[in-house]
Chain A
């Protein structure tokens, strides 16, 4: 639309009688506008090509090789790296952990986010302040807040042990216990992403037309039924959007795990993204790391395409 509108304007300008033949002038004009376009867009495209698109190609190539990041020769090994991942117990555990982590984070974030949004949608005073506090964690450095959480989770002198002691519970050792490390990491993830989900849900709730509720009321629907028959269906595009966003966020969640558990204990919190990092920069298996990163990429691409296919343009207001 925009392009066509400006085209029309320029055509009138060009048609104005001048000394130069119209065709020459138009050509010169086009050349400068094209030139400017290239000048404006090229840097962005260049950096994407070198640092986003090329790495995918290079990773794909590297995933068929064995390399320690130092040796001058990268040895071709065929599908050996993929076969290794297919049969490796640690990698199976990594996939399972990623699934647990994702489901836990998405479920927790969306459920708590919706509850908080419903609460903050009430006519309460100071609710904007509360919204700000709840949103704040999503802006903070994941690495830094993880350091705070390590201190909080400490079973000997942490505040969480103290809170549990009020209920006469003894604190698990959290980060050093294979059964409790994942819940601990999940708590931090949910705490951090909750504010974003709340704010988005809130925007969604406020965009639901009032007359839908009025109509449901006239039909004799109670509060719960109105929630089920109006709020939930109207929010479903947002649930979908937040679901996809949280899945993608969780897949990329590195800071919390690196700082809090380094994937341990005994790989209890080793997720796909962490495995990619560890194989590459700790174990120096560039090939294996690349193969795993392509698995990660493929899953994320699948999730994104799912969103494009089913979620596109369903969420719009304002």
Chain B
């Protein structure tokens, strides 16, 4: 297998049918089918009748798609409200995180300050504190913010995740790689720092900024543990938390409806990924390898 990769042109060499190539395609198809199975099963299940869901052997596809599962799921819990909550958490959470990442990275690269490297290290140390270790103290902190309880509020859900180390780190790398002459020339022209940041540095590093924004937004959308802990009423739950309350282990879960509800959570991500696939994969690779 290694031999092929060394000798052949990287793409579509098309030298007719050869045994290793057939095996390669078969293995690739198998991998895609195995990895894609849960997504297929979710979509197929979301269109099955109750009877089809509970029969064995299960049908691969429903006899006729039952679209009403989606309407029923939407009614089974306040999914409209869950969507609003998830969107608020994602948009506000991403905005505040990105503002922090961009400003900190800019300051670390383009502004002079004594002990800058030490400050960078302190921010990197934030990477070492896993969110899971902080939930209980943060819960206590937010239960009394100057005499007010922030539990079950949007600010309570969002603010503990406002700081960002990973994105700061990545953007700092990008900003350092920008052509220095252009920046210096703008400075000499009397460009102040806010304009420099907004009109030059951000547009010049657009790819990195977009990638980090996407990754942050995805992680916000998927957030589960913290919203689970900090929300106490159904009205405040995001999609991820709201969905899991539909699964009833003891009695028979209405799987058709639950799969439809899962589609609500997962499909927006799949759509974004379908469009930004290259960007996301390149971003993840860069984050991992350009340490």
Chain A residues within CB distance 8 Å of chain B: 2-3, 5-7, 9, 13, 30, 33-34, 36-41, 43-48, 50-56, 58-59, 62, 69, 116, 118-127, 130-137, 139-152, 156-159, 161-162, 165, 191, 194-196, 199-200, 203-205, 210, 213-214, 217, 223, 226-227, 231, 238, 241, 245, 248, 251-252, 254-255, 258-259, 273, 276-277, 280-281, 286, 289-290, 293-294, 296-297, 300-301, 304, 312-313, 315-318
B58 interface residue, CB < 8 Å from A? yes
Are B168 and A44 in contact, with the CB atoms below 8 A? Answer: yes
Cβ contact within 8 Å between A296 and B130: yes
Contact (A148, B130) CB under 8 Å given A48-B163, A315-B291: no
Q: Do the beta carbons of B112 and A139 come within 8 Å of each other?
A: no
The interface residues of chain B lying within 8 Å CB-to-CB of A293 are: 132-133, 136
Q: How far is the CB of A199 from chain B (nearest CB, A)?
A: 6
Which A residues are in CB contact (< 8 Å) with B4? 122-123
What 11 new A-B contacts, CB under 8 Å, besides A6-B112, A141-B240, A151-B255?
A33-B111, A40-B106, A43-B162, A53-B125, A139-B222, A139-B269, A142-B224, A143-B222, A143-B224, A199-B281, A259-B247
Q: Is the CB of B1 within 8 A of A122?
A: yes
Residue on B nearest A205 in the bound complex, by CB: B5
Q: Contacting A37 at CB < 8 Å: which of B113, B159, B286?
A: B113
Chain B positions within 8 Å of A227 at CB level: 2
How many pairs of residues, A versus B, come closer than 8 Å at their CB atoms?
Answer: 340
CB distance from B57 to the nearest CB of A (A): 5
Query: Closest CB-CB distance, A187 to chain B, in whole Å?
Result: 10
Question: Most chain-A CB neighbours within 10 Å: which of B99, B100, B188?
Answer: B100
Flag if B122 contacts A317 (CB, 8 Å).
no
Q: Known: A59-B133, A259-B247. Is A47-B100 also a contact (CB below 8 A)?
A: yes
Whether A130 pairs with B28 at a CB distance below 8 angstroms is yes
Residue pair B56, A317 in contact (C-beta under 8 Å): no
Which one, B31, B116, B138, contacts A119 given CB within 8 A? B31
Q: Establish whether residues A301 and B128, one from each chain, have CB atoms under 8 Å apart when the complex forms.
A: yes
Q: How far is the CA of A40 from the CA of B100 in the complex (A)?
A: 8
A30 — which chain B residues lie within 8 A by C-beta? 112
Distance in angstroms from A218 CB to nearest chain B CB is: 12
Tell which of B19-27, B64-72, B202-210 binds the partner.
Answer: B19-27
The listed residue (B27, B38, B107, B139) touching A41 by CB distance below 8 A is B107
Q: Which residues of A contact B258 (CB under 8 A)?
A: 147, 151
B55 interface residue, CB < 8 Å from A? yes
Q: Are B41 and A13 in contact (CB under 8 A)?
A: no
The docked-state distance in angstroms from the alpha carbon of A145 to that of B163 is 27
Residues of chain A within 8 A (CB-CB) of B104 are 40-41, 44
User: Which of A48, A135, A296, A301 contacts B132, CB < 8 Å?
Assistant: A296
Instruction: Tell me whether B243 and A44 are in contact (CB under 8 A).
Output: no
CB distance from B112 to the nearest CB of A (A): 6
Given A9-B188, A123-B5, the answer on whether A289 and B132 have CB atoms closer than 8 Å is no
B5 touches A54 (CB 8 A): no
8 Å CB interface, B123-162 against A? 123, 125-141, 159-162
B176 pairs with A2, CB closer than 8 A: yes
CB of B160 within 8 A of CB of A51, answer yes
For A194, the closest partner residue in chain B by CB is B35
Return chain B residues, CB-CB under 8 Å to A36. 107, 111, 193
Asked whether A259 lies within 8 Å of B244 as measured between CB atoms, the reply is yes
In this complex, what residue of B is CB-closest to A125? B12
Mark out the residues of chain B between 231 and 284 whose CB falls within 8 Å of any chain A CB in the assembled complex.
239-241, 243-244, 246-247, 253, 255, 258-259, 262, 265-266, 269-270, 273, 277, 280-281, 284
Sample of 26 A–B contacts (CB below 8 Å):
A2-B110, A3-B112, A37-B112, A43-B100, A48-B123, A56-B129, A62-B136, A123-B12, A125-B11, A141-B240, A141-B266, A143-B244, A144-B243, A148-B42, A151-B258, A157-B56, A159-B41, A223-B1, A238-B289, A241-B288, A252-B130, A255-B224, A289-B136, A296-B133, A304-B127, A312-B291
Contact among A118, A137, A300 for B1, CB-based, below 8 A:
A118
User: Does B221 reach chain A (CB closer than 8 Å)?
Assistant: yes
